[in-house]
Amino acid sequence: MPRTVWSGAISFGLVTVPIHVVNAREDHSIHFHQVHLEDMGRVRSRKICEIEGREVAQSEIGKGYQWGKDTIIPVLDEELREIPLPTAKAIEIEAFVPLDSIDPIQIGDGYYLQPDGKVAAKPYTLLRKALERSSKVAVAKYAWSGRERLGLLRVRDDVIVLHAMRWSDEIRDPSELRPEEIELTDAEITQAEQLIERLTRDDLEGEEFTDRYTEAVEQLIEAKREHREPPTAEEPEEAPGQIVDLMAALKESVAKARKSRGDDATVHDMPKKKAASKRTASTAGTAGKKGAAKKTATASTAKKRPAEKTAKKTAARKPRRSA
């Protein structure tokens, strides 16, 4: 069983659900120690008191806030736990919203919420089923590790999941990063759409979605342990020549994607080149459907997309940090 990260309750309206919080993610990465290269001795981080000049034990270490240049105010863990904040001991649900109204950039680490005993099973199941039927997620506030946080509750395989979230004022404005407006032809946009269709799939299962770096590090460690030569990277195939033309690059990418899936793949058939079929807003979700749309219609559709995206972003009202 995974270790409990926090114990408390979910609170929505007058309903309280006692829960345990456990991490929903596992770390499979390989960790290294710092060592002295000359003799392979471990190099550790020692905690030294600056005044006494000696190493101190963890039991002697507490929290202190720097106030001015020479003043440190001690703050005890017990004092932090007793702060009069409702979210210090409960995950307080503030609202229910559609999932697509939340910008994914706000969503962080996930935790499973486990009901605390038989008494919690009924209200836990009630909240889970209500979330499923409403097709919404809950936005909540909770206080961990010395600060109040924003969270999102959703259902995964009959278990309620809590995702840590960033406050809206913690998300940087990306407007200064946008490039200048670039003119694109309808043909270039169509080729890019074809590449998207060729690379579209229903899941993320497969060898291409495995952690090859960790596997390579494991092979390196095993080879060195057995005093063998570690595996070397294969020489990349020589490219036929650098492609500087965007249209040529798109066409070659579509051809490679088609080849990797097989010429007989029919999952996402694309319109033939001569047909010059374009997908309008009403048919954007139908792959392989032929049309006789004119280039002007396609250009109009392409111009609408940024406006639609902006409208959707405006409609996505994010919770604001409380005072």
Domain map (residue ranges) of the chain: 4-26+81-168, 187-198+246-271
pLDDT tens profile 145-161? 768 899 999 999 999 99
Looking at the predicted structure, is the pLDDT value of residue 198 above 80? Answer: yes
The architecture that CATH gives domain 4-26+81-168 is Beta Barrel (2.40)
Instruction: Answer yes or no: is pLDDT of 283 > 60.
Output: no
Q: Of 122-126, 141-145, 147-151, 231-235, where does mean pLDDT reach its minimum?
A: 231-235
- Percentages helix, strand, coil for the chain (3-state, rounded to 5) are 35, 25, 40
Place of tokens 């392989």: 288
Closest CA to 105 of 63, 155, 165: 165
**Does the model's pTM come out above 0.75?**
no
The residue to which tokens 């005072």 are assigned: 323
Residue with the two structure tokens 């793949």: 265
Q: How far apart are CA 47 and CA 59, in angstroms?
A: 12
Has residue 4 got a pLDDT over 60? Answer: yes
Per-residue pLDDT, 287: 40
- DSSP-derived 3-state class of residue 155: strand
Token couple for 155: 């259902």
Residues 6+ apart with CB under 8 A from 46: 55
**Cα gap 275→277, rounded to integer Å:** 5
What is the reported pLDDT for 54? 93
**In this structure, what token pair is assigned to residue 283?**
């048919």
Q: Which residues pair with 51 in a beta bridge?
A: none
pLDDT value of residue 23: 84
pLDDT at residue 307 above 70?
no
Beta strands in the chain (DSSP E): 4-12, 15-23, 35-36, 41-42, 63-67, 71-75, 91-97, 107-115, 137-144, 147-156, 159-165
Distance (Å, whole) CA 142 – CA 199: 40
Residues listed for the chain: 323
Two tokens, residue 304? 């609408």
Residue 300's pLDDT is 43
CB within 8 Å of 56: residues ≥ 6 apart: 47, 48, 49
